[in-house]
Chains A and B, each alone.
Chain A
Amino acid sequence: MALAFRLLPGVLSALVLALVIGGALGGVLSVAGHIDMAALLGDAYVLGILRFTVWQAFLSAALSVVLAIPVARALVRRQRFPGRALLIRLLGLPMVIPTIVGVLGLVAVYGRSGAINDLLAMAGTGARLDIYGLGGILIAHVFFNMPFATRLLLQGWAGIPGESFRLASQLGMTGGQIFRLIEWPMLRQIAPGVAGLVFLICFTSFSIVLVLGGGPPNATLEVAIYQALRFDFDLARVVAFGVLQVGLCALIVGAGHRLARSVPVELGLARDMPRPDLAAPAGRIGDAAAIAFAALMVLLPLAAIVASGVSGDAWGAATRAPLWFAALRSLAVGLCAGLLSCLIGAGLVLTARELGVRYRRPGLATAIELGGSLILVVPPFVIGAGLFILVQPVADVFAIGLVFVVIVNALMGLPFALRILMPPAMEVHERHLRLADGLGITGLTRLRLVDWPLLRRPLGLALALTTALSLGDFGVIALFGTRHNQTLPYLLYQQMGSYRMADAATTALILVGLCLALFIVIERGIGGRGHDRA
C-alpha cells in the first residue's frame, strides 16, 4: 500500500508521457507501413536536407566554440575592467530571449536594410551582406551559442587549480606557455563536450533556419518536416525525416552523454589568480578585441530590437486588436504549458526520490530523469507531426492546435524542470527522510511542512523558466498556427514574412517584455523572498 502510494505520482506522470510520445510515434509509424523507407532514405532531396543539417550544425558548433575560446580566456585574464560583470550577464541573454526575437534583431543588424549594410553603403563599397542563406544561419547560431559556449568554458577555466597559475608565475611562463601547458589540456577535455552540445542544439534548429534559410535547399530536418506536413502534406517524407531525426538525435545524445559528463560543475574562482602574462601588449590588444567582439555580437541585435520597438510610429500597431489577442493566447499557452511541465516534473521527482533515497535504487531514479528528458531524442516536431497525423482524420487539427502546442511545449520544458527540481528534492529527502518518518510526518503534511518551504525556490524557478520558454517558443505553433489562433511568436513570424518590420519590432518588444515580466513574477511569487534554503 505504502509502496503503491509512493509510486503513484511518478506512474501518473509517466503515463501522460507514454500516451503523448507513444501516441505521436504511433501516429508517425502508422503511416510508415505503407512507405518504401529504403527508397525515401536514398532520395536525393532527403539526402540533401540531411547533408545540410549536419554541415550547418558542424560549422555552427565549430565557429561558436572557436570564437568562445578567446572570449572566455580574455574574461579570465582580465578580472577587473569596467562592465565585466555586466558583460557576463549579457552573455546569458541570448539563451533566454525568444529565438524568433533574436532572429529579428539579427535581421535588423545584418539584414538587407540593416545597420551593417548601411555602413557598407556609406563607405561606398559595392559589397552587400546577405543574411539569408548559410551565412545568416551561421551568424544566428553563433549569436545564440557562442555566449553559451563561453559560459561553459569559463567553468572549465574555473576548474583549473589555482596552484597551476601560481606555479606558472613562479616559473615565469609567458602567455603562450600558459596556454600550451595549462589551458590547452583543459580545453581538450572540455571543448569537445561543449561543441557536442552546440552541435545538438543547431542540429535541431528550427526557427532560425526557417526564417534565414532562404529556401528549400537550406533546411534542417525539422524545417523539412514542417514544410512536408504544412505545405506538401507529403506524409511519406514526414516519416522519413522523422525517422532520420529520431535516429540521429539518439546517436548524438548517446555520444554527447559521454562528452557532456566532462563538463565540470564547479563555479567561479574563489579569488582571481595572479597570472604572469597580463602585461604583454599583444595580449592586451587581443583580449580587448575579444571582449569588444563578444559585447558587440550580443549587444547590437538586442539594441536594434529595443530601438526599433520603441520608435514612434510603430506604437500605432500596438493598439491593434490582433496583437493583444495574440498576447493573451501566448500568456495562456505559456502558463498552461509551464504548469503542466512542472506537474509532470513534480510527479516524476516525487517518485524518483522515494526510489533513490528510501529504497536505495539511485539507478531507477536516474532512469526516471532520463525518461523525462526523452524529448531531447524525440524532437518536438516529430511529436507535433505524430499528433497531427493521429488527430487529423477525426478532428480539425487547427481548431485544437493550441492544445497540442501546450502539450508539446510542456514536454520541451520537462528536462529543464527536472534538472532544476531533482537535485534539491533529493537533497531534502536525503536529509529529512528519517526525521520526518520518525515524527510521523507523512503525505500532504510532509509536502506542506517540509517540502514546500525548502523547495519553493527551485519550484518557482522551474515554473518561471518553463513558462517563459513556452511563451516565447516558435516551434510547433508553426505547424498548428493559423490567423485565428496565432500566438505572439507566430504573429511575429508572419509580420517578418511580409516585411512589416516596424510591426514586428513592436511585437518582439511586447513578447520579450511579457516573458521577462512573467518570469520575474512567477519566480518571486512562488519562490518567495528571503526564504533561504536551510
Chain B
Amino acid sequence: MIALEDVTFRYEDMVMRFALAIGEGELAVVFGPSGAGKTTLLNLIAGFDRPDGGRIVIDGRDMAGVPPAERPVTTLFQEHNLFAHLSVEQNVGLGIHPGLKLSAGDRERVASALEEVGLGGFGKRLPNQLSGGERQRVALARSIVRDRPVLLLDEPFAALGPAQRRRMTALVERLRADRGLTVMMVSHQLEEARELTGRAVFVQDGTVLCEGTIREFLAAPPLPEIADYLG
C-alpha cells in the first residue's frame, strides 16, 4: 500500500534515507529516539516534504508532484489539529469542503462521524471547551469524513494521560479494522502499542534500522540499539 524506494531527504546537515513497504490494512508503529527522522518519514508520505531522490508509491501511484490534498492520505498531528475559532462540526466539515460549503447530506456525514468517535452532540462546541483527548477525537472524525485509505498519526496522543491514551489507541484500531485503513503511527514508546497487533518500525539516524512485529520487539529486541532504546 505504501512503498518508499530508496527515498533520500536532506534536512540541515543530516541526509535521511528511507526504504519501507507497508501492506494494505496493516498497522505500523514507527518508533525511535527524538530527532531520528520519524516525523520526516510521515511528512514525506503525506507530501509536506519533497524527497530529494527516490520514489514514494501509495496505492500503486507514484506520488512525485502530487500535492498533499490529492494524496490518498490523511494526517493527524500531535496538536493544533483544529482551528480554535471554528466549531467542532465546522472543523470536521473542512474535511469535506475546505471552504465549508456543506450540503444537508454533508452535515449528516459530519454528525455520524462525530457519533463514531464518541462525540455525538458536541458539534456546536468550540475546541477550547474540549479536553485534549476530545480534540484528537474531533480530528479523527475529520479523517473519517475525508475517507482516505491511509491514516498517518504523528505522536497523536503524546499529550494525553495513560488511560486516555489507551482508549484513543483502541479507537484508532477499531477505525482501522472497520474501514480497512492502512495506519502508520509515530510513537515515542512502543509500550503504548502493547495491545496492538502489527508491525514495529525502528528509526534511528534518519533511516529504518529494523522492522518486525510489535510483539517480537517487546519480547526480544532484535538489535542492541533497540534494546538500548527500550531500556
Contact = CB atoms under 8 A, between A and B. Distances in A.
Interface in B79-108: 79-81, 83-86, 94-95, 98-100
A172 B48 contact: no
Interface stretch (B69-77, B114-122, B160-168, B189-197): B69-77
- Interface of chain B, helix or strand or loop or mixed? loop
A182 B85 CA distance: 9
B98 A177 contact: yes
Interface residues of A, number: 21
Nearest to A279: B67
Nearest to B78: A163
Interface string A160-175: 0111101111111110
B68 interface: yes
Contacts of B83: 164, 181-182, 185
B129 to A, nearest CB: 17
A276 interface: yes
B51 interface: no
Pairs A-B, 3 closest by C-beta atoms: A172-B69, A163-B80, A161-B80
26 contacts: A162-B80, A163-B79, A163-B80, A164-B83, A166-B75, A167-B77, A169-B48, A170-B74, A171-B69, A171-B94, A171-B98, A171-B146, A172-B67, A172-B68, A172-B69, A172-B70, A172-B98, A174-B99, A181-B86, A185-B85, A274-B48, A274-B49, A274-B68, A276-B67, A276-B68, A276-B69
Contact of B67 (A169, A177, A181): A169
Contact of A169 (B68, B99, B100): B68
B46 interface: yes
Nearest to A161: B80
A164 B49 CA distance: 15
Contacts of B149: none
A67 B138 CA distance: 37
Nearest to A189: B85
A182 B83 CA distance: 8
Contacts of B206: none
B47 interface: yes
A345 to B, nearest CB: 39
Contact of B98 (A163, A174, A185): A174
A177 B70 CA distance: 17
A186 to B, nearest CB: 10
Contacts of B77: 163, 166-167
B75 A170 contact: yes
A177 B99 contact: yes
A180 B75 CA distance: 22
A71 B83 CA distance: 24
Contacts of A182: 83
Nearest to A164: B80
* Central interface residue in B68, B75, B83, by most chain A CB within 10 Å: B68
B85 to A, nearest CB: 5
Nearest to A180: B99
A172 B71 CA distance: 10
Contacts of A167: 77, 80-81, 94
Interface string A180-219: 1110010000000000000000000000000000000000
Interface in B52-79: 67-70, 73-75, 77, 79
A274 B67 CA distance: 10
Nearest to B50: A274
Nearest to B86: A181
A172 to B, nearest CB: 3
Contacts of B46: 166, 170
* Central interface residue in B69, B80, B81, B98, by most chain A CB within 10 Å: B98
Nearest to B84: A185
B98 A168 contact: yes
A21 B100 CA distance: 57
A185 B81 CA distance: 16
A161 B84 CA distance: 11
A276 B98 CA distance: 12
Contacts of B75: 166, 170
A167 B73 CA distance: 12
A156 to B, nearest CB: 15
Contacts of B48: 166, 169, 274
Contacts of A180: 99
A170 B79 CA distance: 15
B91 to A, nearest CB: 10
B98 A169 contact: no
Contacts of B69: 169-173, 276
A474 B21 CA distance: 70
Nearest to B49: A274
A323 to B, nearest CB: 52
Interface string A52-82: 0000000000000000000000000000000
Nearest to A172: B69
Given A166-B75, A182-B83, A173 B98 contact: yes
Contacts of B67: 169, 172, 276
A98 B77 CA distance: 48
